[in-house]
Chains A and B, each alone.
Chain A
Amino acid sequence: MVDLAKTYDVLVVGGGNAALCAAITAREKGASVLILEHAPKPFRGGNSRHTRNLRCMHTEPTEVLTEAYLEEEYWDDLMRVTNGVTDERLARMAIRGSNGVGRWMEARGVRFQPSLGGTLNLSRTNAFFLGGGKALVNAYYATAERLGVEVLYETEVLDLEIDKGVFQWATVSCQGGEPVKVRAKTVVAASGGFQANLEWLKEYWGEAADNFIIRGTPYNKGRMLRNLLDKGATPVGDPRQCHAVAIDARAPQFDGGIVTRLDCVPFSIVVDKNAQRFYDEGEDFWPKRYAIWGRLVAQQPDQIAYAIIDSKAVTLFMPSVFPAVQADSIGELAAKLGLDTQALENTVAQYNAAVRPGNFDNSILDNCATEGLTPPKTHWARRIDEAPYYAYPLRPGITFTYLGVKVDEQARVVMEGGKPAKNIFATGEIMAGNVLGKGYLAGLGMTIGTVFGRIAGEEAAKNANH
C-alpha cells in the first residue's frame, strides 16, 4: 500500500515508458519506488500509449528486425535529422543502449511483432510492439506491480523542493485534493514535454496555437519541466520548436493518436482557406516529408488546409479515421469545404494545365511533375480530373516539444553552473532534447526513454542506497 508518510528511495514523476523503465530498474536494484501518474488509470502511460515501436541498433537479423542496423548508420541518421543539434556522448549511449534492449523488454512482459502493414520502410530499423504502446505500458505496469513498485494515479506533482541542487520532497495533489508532501531520497522526472499546454504554446505561436491539435495525452502540461527550469535546471532544446505533422482537422483536441494522420498529401494538391496552393506536395517521399507539413499548415491563415485528390489516387495511401469529403465536381467539393468555388476551380485548372506527361510510379521519385507552376509539384503530379473528387481538411497536429532539461551520462539533471544535481534524474521526453535537438527520427523517443529510464533507475537506486 502507498504510504505517503514514509520516505521512498525513488520517487518517479510520470507514468509512461521512461518512468516505468526507471521504476522497474530501481525496484530490481532493491529500492522502494513510488510512481506518481497524473492521468487516471485508463489513460495512464502518457504519449507512450500512442507509440508503436522503438529504433533499435542490431548487428544481425532478429526475430522482428531484418538485416543489420549498426551504430554508425544510426548515428548518421540522427545527424541527418538533427543537423548536429545533439549531444554525441548521450546520443551514442542511447544508440548503444538500444542494442539488445529488446531482450530486457521481453523479460519484463513486452512482446514484439514484425513491422506493421504500411510500415515496411521501418522493418530494418524499428522493433514494433505487439498491440502498440498501450500494450507495452500495460506489460510494464503489471511487471512493476509484481515487483512491488507502488503507483498512484490521478496524482499531479505540483512542486519539487530543491535545496542547493538537492531534492528534498515533492508537493503533490491526489485526485485534485489538498497538496501533500511526499518525501524521497531521489526523484526521477519522467513527465514528458509541455505540448498539451496550449497557454505555453501560445507564448511562441500566439493565437494560432488555438487551432493546434495535440496528438497525444492531455496530461503533458509541462508542469515538472517548468518547475525544474525555474529551480535552476539547465534547459536544452529550442523552446519554440515542436514536432508537428498535418493531421485530419476533424481529430479530437487530444489523444487522437495515429489514426488521425493523413498520408494522401504526395498524391494531392494542398490548398489554404483561400483555395491557393502553398508548397510542393511531391517534394519527397512522405515518410521524409510529413514532419514539415504540420509547420506548413500552422503558417497558413487560420491554420487550416485541404488536401484534394481525385478517384485515381484514392487507394494509394493508408486509410485514415474520418471519411473524405466527396463530391462529383470541384465546384461542389469547394462548396462542401466552405471554400470559394471559383478560386478552387481556378487553382485546380491551373495545376491541371501545368501537369506534364510522365510515368506515374509511387514507389520511386517519378517524373510526373508540373511545369511553369508556382509552387511546383515535382513528383507524382497527375491531373485531378476523374470524379468523384475527395478532400481531407488538415490542421497542425503537435506530437512533442523539444524543450527539456540537460542531463549528464548518469541521467542526472544538470543545474546552473553545469553541476549535476545530486539526486535529481530525468528521462524520456523531458530530456529527449539532449539527443534529438531538432527534427524527428521514428522510434527514437522510445529508445531514449528506455535507455535513459534504465540508467536513471539504476543511478537513483544507487544514490538512494548510499
Chain B
Amino acid sequence: MRTTEALVDARSAMEICNACRYCEGYCAVFPAMELRRTFSNGDLSYLANLCHNCRGCYYSCQYAPPHEFQINLPKTFAELRAETYEEYAWPRPLARLFHRNGLVVSLITAIGIALIMIGTMLLQSNDVLFARHQGEGAFYAVIPHNVMVALGGATFGYAIIALIMGFLNFWRDAGGKMAELKPQSLRQAFADALTLRYLGGSKGEGCAYPDEAFSNARRVYHHFMFYGFMLAFAATAVATIYDYVFGWVAPYGYFSLPVILGTLGGIGLLIGPAGLLWLKAKSDKTPAPASLMGMDVAFLVLLFMTSLTGLVLLAFRETAAMGILLAIHLGFVLSLFVVLPYSKFVHGLYRTGALLRHAMERKH
C-alpha cells in the first residue's frame, strides 16, 4: 500500500488506539492492533479491511471529534479501504475506475444494457423480438444460446480472474503467507465472514448502525443480500448442469430447482439491498466519508435492479414482453459481472482475506 493522507491518518489513529485499548471487545481490529507496536502500510491496509464499520468504537471513543485527537476510526478506515480497492485492482490501469465509482458503475451498467438492447435488435427482427415464445428454448429464440454463453462466460470469467488477481495483491501486501495457512484458520475465517460475526456485537446485540443504538438490522439485511446472491448463483450453476449434463433446455418450470433457487435468491437480493439502502439513508453520516456514498449506493442499486429485472422476466416470460425483458435483464447481469472487480463487491473478498490473516496471526 502506498503512503497516502488516509494511510497517515490511520497510522496516527492506531497509535492512539493502541495506547487506549478500551474498544478491545468490539471487533477483531483491536486485538490485531495489539499484536503490533508499529504499523507498516501493509498492516494498515489489513486493519482497514478487517474493520466491518460497526461503529461501536466511534460512539464509545472519548477522543472522537470534537476532541482534539479527532479519532473517527470507521471514517478513517473507510477512506483507507477505498484506497486499497484502487491499490489492488487488476489490471493496474483500471484502478482509476474506483474514482467516482458510483458514476462509473452507473455508466457501465447503462452502456451494458444499451449494448445488449441494440445487439438484440440488430440480431432479431421485431417480429421475433416482440413475439410470444414458449416452451423449451424460448429465451434462445430471442438471444441465441451460444451468444448468451459467450457473453456470460467471457464477462464472468474475466471478473473471476480480475478478482483473484486483486485478492492476491491484497494478500501479499497485508503480509499473508500461504505456507502458514492452517485448516482451522480457514474454518475460523469463513465462519466469521459467513455469520458476519463482527457486525453482531459482543453478545449478539448487533452494531451501532444506523445510529448509536445497537441493532442487528444491518447484519440481517446483509445476510439477505449475501445469501440471496449465493442462491442466485446456485440457480445459475444448477441450470448450467441441467443444460450441459442433462441436455434440459431453459426456461424451466416454476417449481424446478433453478427457478426456485433463483426466485428465493432474487427476493433476498431485493430485500437485502433495499434494506441496506434504507439504513444508509437514515444512518449517522459523521462516521462515514461522504465521498464513498456513491460506490456503496451504486452497487446496492445494481444488485437490486439485476434481481428485479430477473423476477419481472420470470413473471412475464410467457408474454410478448419477454424479448425486451430478457435483453434488459441480461444487460444488468453482464454489467454486474463486468463491474464486480471494480465495485464495492471487492470488500467481501478483502474482508474475508483480512479475517483469514487475523485467524492465522492471533493466539489460539
Using CB atoms and an 8 Å cutoff, list the residues of chain A in contact with chain B.
42-43, 49-50, 52, 111, 113-114, 116-118, 128-135, 138, 142, 252, 255, 257-259, 261, 315, 318-321, 323
Question: Could you mark each residue 213-240 of chain B with 1 if its beta carbon is under 8 Å from any beta carbon of chain A, else 0?
Answer: 1000000000000000000000000000
Residue with the highest number of chain A CB atoms closer than 10 Å, among B19, B26, B34, B63 = B19
3 closest Cβ pairs, A-B complex: A131-B60, A132-B22, A113-B25
Chain B contacts for A259, CB-based, 8 A: 16, 19-20, 63, 69
Complex: A128 Cα to B25 Cα, angstroms: 10
Interface residues of B in 1-43 (CB under 8 A from A): 15-16, 18-26, 31, 34, 37
Chain B contacts for A116, CB-based, 8 A: 21-22, 24
| Least CB separation from B38: chain A residue | A319
Q: A42-B66, A255-B67, A259-B20 are in contact. Are A319 and B15 (CB under 8 A)?
A: yes
A135 touches B59 (CB 8 A): yes
Question: Would you give the shortest CB distance from A239 to chain B, in whole angstroms?
Answer: 28
B24 touches A135 (CB 8 A): no
Chain A contacts for B67, CB-based, 8 A: 42-43, 255
Chain B contacts for A113, CB-based, 8 A: 24-25, 202
Chain B contacts for A114, CB-based, 8 A: 25
Complex: A116 Cα to B19 Cα, angstroms: 11
Q: Kindly list 10 other residue pairs between chains A and B, CB separation below 8 angstroms, not including A42-B65, A116-B21, A259-B63.
A: A43-B67, A111-B203, A128-B25, A130-B60, A131-B23, A131-B25, A131-B57, A257-B20, A321-B16, A321-B69
A117 interface neighbour in B34, B59, B65, B213, Cβ under 8 Å: B34
Complex: A111 Cα to B207 Cα, angstroms: 13
Complex: A237 Cα to B286 Cα, angstroms: 43
Chain B contacts for A50, CB-based, 8 A: 62
A134 touches B19 (CB 8 A): no
Chain B contacts for A138, CB-based, 8 A: 59-60, 212
B202 touches A319 (CB 8 A): no
A132 interface neighbour in B15, B60, B203, B213, Cβ under 8 Å: B60
Chain B contacts for A315, CB-based, 8 A: 37
Question: Would you give the shortest CB distance from A384 to chain B, in whole angstroms?
Answer: 20
| Least CB separation from A111: chain B residue | B202
A318 touches B19 (CB 8 A): yes
Interface residues of B in 187-221 (CB under 8 A from A): 202-203, 205, 212-213
21 interchain pairs (CB within 8 A)? A50-B62, A52-B22, A114-B25, A116-B24, A117-B34, A128-B25, A130-B202, A131-B25, A132-B60, A132-B62, A133-B22, A135-B22, A135-B56, A135-B59, A138-B60, A252-B68, A259-B16, A259-B20, A319-B18, A320-B19, A321-B15
A131 touches B26 (CB 8 A): yes
Question: Would you give the shortest CB distance from B161 to chain A, in whole angstroms?
Answer: 41
B19 interface neighbour in A43, A132, A319, Cβ under 8 Å: A319
**B61 contacts A by Cβ under 8 Å:** yes
A131 touches B19 (CB 8 A): no
Chain B contacts for A129, CB-based, 8 A: 22
A130 touches B25 (CB 8 A): yes
Chain A contacts for B22, CB-based, 8 A: 52, 116, 129, 131-133, 135, 258
Complex: A113 Cα to B24 Cα, angstroms: 8
Chain A contacts for B23, CB-based, 8 A: 131-132
Interface residues of B in 65-94 (CB under 8 A from A): 65-69
A134 interface neighbour in B25, B31, B34, B62, Cβ under 8 Å: B62
| Least CB separation from A248: chain B residue | B19
| Least CB separation from A64: chain B residue | B25
B59 touches A49 (CB 8 A): no
**B interface, by DSSP: helix, strand, loop or mixed?**
loop
Complex: A207 Cα to B281 Cα, angstroms: 54
A135 touches B21 (CB 8 A): no
B16 touches A49 (CB 8 A): no
Interface residues of B in 316-352 (CB under 8 A from A): none
Q: A114-B25, A117-B34, A142-B213 are in contact. Are A258 and B20 (CB under 8 A)?
A: yes
Question: Would you give the shortest CB distance from B154 to chain A, in whole angstroms?
Answer: 49
Chain A contacts for B213, CB-based, 8 A: 142
B202 touches A134 (CB 8 A): no
Chain A contacts for B34, CB-based, 8 A: 117
Chain A contacts for B63, CB-based, 8 A: 257, 259
Complex: A360 Cα to B64 Cα, angstroms: 40
Question: Would you give the shortest CB distance from B39 to chain A, in whole angstroms?
Answer: 11
| Least CB separation from B12: chain A residue | A321
Question: Would you give the shortest CB distance from A349 to chain B, in whole angstroms?
Answer: 29
A117 touches B15 (CB 8 A): no
A134 touches B60 (CB 8 A): yes
Complex: A83 Cα to B95 Cα, angstroms: 67
Chain A contacts for B205, CB-based, 8 A: 111
B203 touches A117 (CB 8 A): no
Chain B contacts for A118, CB-based, 8 A: 21
Question: Would you give the shortest CB distance from B361 to chain A, in whole angstroms?
Answer: 15
Complex: A135 Cα to B59 Cα, angstroms: 7
Complex: A50 Cα to B69 Cα, angstroms: 14
Complex: A466 Cα to B59 Cα, angstroms: 40
Complex: A320 Cα to B19 Cα, angstroms: 5
B212 interface neighbour in A42, A142, A321, Cβ under 8 Å: A142
Question: Would you give the shortest CB distance from A16 to chain B, in whole angstroms?
Answer: 12
Complex: A113 Cα to B203 Cα, angstroms: 10
A135 touches B60 (CB 8 A): yes
Complex: A252 Cα to B63 Cα, angstroms: 12
Question: Would you give the shortest CB distance from B201 to chain A, in whole angstroms?
Answer: 8
Complex: A52 Cα to B31 Cα, angstroms: 17
A117 touches B24 (CB 8 A): yes
Complex: A257 Cα to B56 Cα, angstroms: 19
B37 touches A319 (CB 8 A): yes
A49 interface neighbour in B18, B19, B31, B62, Cβ under 8 Å: B62
Complex: A134 Cα to B208 Cα, angstroms: 14
B19 touches A258 (CB 8 A): yes
| Least CB separation from A142: chain B residue | B213
Complex: A131 Cα to B27 Cα, angstroms: 11
Complex: A49 Cα to B63 Cα, angstroms: 10
Chain B contacts for A252, CB-based, 8 A: 68
Complex: A125 Cα to B150 Cα, angstroms: 67
Complex: A212 Cα to B25 Cα, angstroms: 33
Interface residues of B in 215-274 (CB under 8 A from A): none
Complex: A114 Cα to B24 Cα, angstroms: 9
| Least CB separation from A259: chain B residue | B19
Question: Would you give the shortest CB distance from B65 to chain A, in whole angstroms?
Answer: 8
| Least CB separation from A117: chain B residue | B34
| Least CB separation from A135: chain B residue | B60
Question: Would you give the shortest CB distance from A80 to chain B, in whole angstroms?
Answer: 27
A130 touches B212 (CB 8 A): no
Question: Would you give the shortest CB distance from A286 to chain B, in whole angstroms?
Answer: 15
Complex: A117 Cα to B68 Cα, angstroms: 25
Complex: A52 Cα to B62 Cα, angstroms: 11
Question: Would you give the shortest CB distance from A49 to chain B, in whole angstroms?
Answer: 5
B18 touches A130 (CB 8 A): no
Question: Would you give the shortest CB distance from A374 to chain B, in whole angstroms?
Answer: 34
Question: Would you give the shortest CB distance from B33 to chain A, in whole angstroms?
Answer: 10
Question: Would you give the shortest CB distance from A215 to chain B, in whole angstroms?
Answer: 11
Question: Would you give the shortest CB distance from B102 to chain A, in whole angstroms?
Answer: 31
Chain B contacts for A321, CB-based, 8 A: 15-16, 19, 69
Complex: A257 Cα to B19 Cα, angstroms: 10
Complex: A315 Cα to B31 Cα, angstroms: 17
Complex: A43 Cα to B212 Cα, angstroms: 16
